């Protein structure tokens, strides 16, 4: 089955959310007192440019690396992953954690 065309409004919202996630990650890195290069080294990246891309909203953290990033930033891994999920997959986040969404689903 062919994939539906991308919704321009949704694509724009995704871009905004990725940029917000990047700003959040940058603030966490700065709070931890790390440079992009230091963070890259702590999470096992060869180049710091990936950190830069994520912080600018051009990339996103793969799920399998989120624990390492949380530990490197001195954050609790579960809360770190939940915060990223809110930015990267807002619909899934609402399904899993939003009480209003859960109540509405139960009433349907």
Q: What is the pTM of this model?
A: 0.83
**Cβ distance 75 to 25 under 8 Å?**
no
Q: Is the pLDDT of residue 5 over 90?
A: no
Question: Which domains does the chain show, CATH number per domain?
Answer: 12-107 (1.10.260.40)
**Cβ distance 47 to 40 under 8 Å?**
yes
Tokens of 65: 């690396």
| CA dihedral (47, 30, 73, 83) positive or negative | negative
Distance (Å, whole) CA 51 – CA 39: 8
Tokens of 23: 């700003």
Q: Is the pLDDT of residue 104 over 60?
A: no
Residue 45, Cβ neighbours under 10 Å: how many?
16
Q: Is the pLDDT of residue 69 over 90?
A: yes
């Amino acid at each position: 089955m062919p994939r539906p065309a991308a919704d321009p409004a949704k694509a724009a919202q995704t871009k905004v959310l990725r940029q917000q996630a990047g700003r959040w990650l940058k603030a966490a890195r700065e709070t931890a007192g790390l440079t992009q290069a230091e963070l890259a080294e702590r999470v096992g990246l060869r180049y710091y440019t990936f950190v830069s891309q994520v912080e600018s909203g051009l990339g996103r953290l793969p799920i399998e690396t989120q624990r390492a990033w949380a530990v490197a930033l001195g954050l609790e891994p579960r809360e770190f992953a939940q915060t990223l999920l809110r930015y990267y997959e807002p619909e899934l986040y609402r399904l899993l954690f939003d009480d209003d969404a859960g109540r509405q689903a139960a009433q349907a």
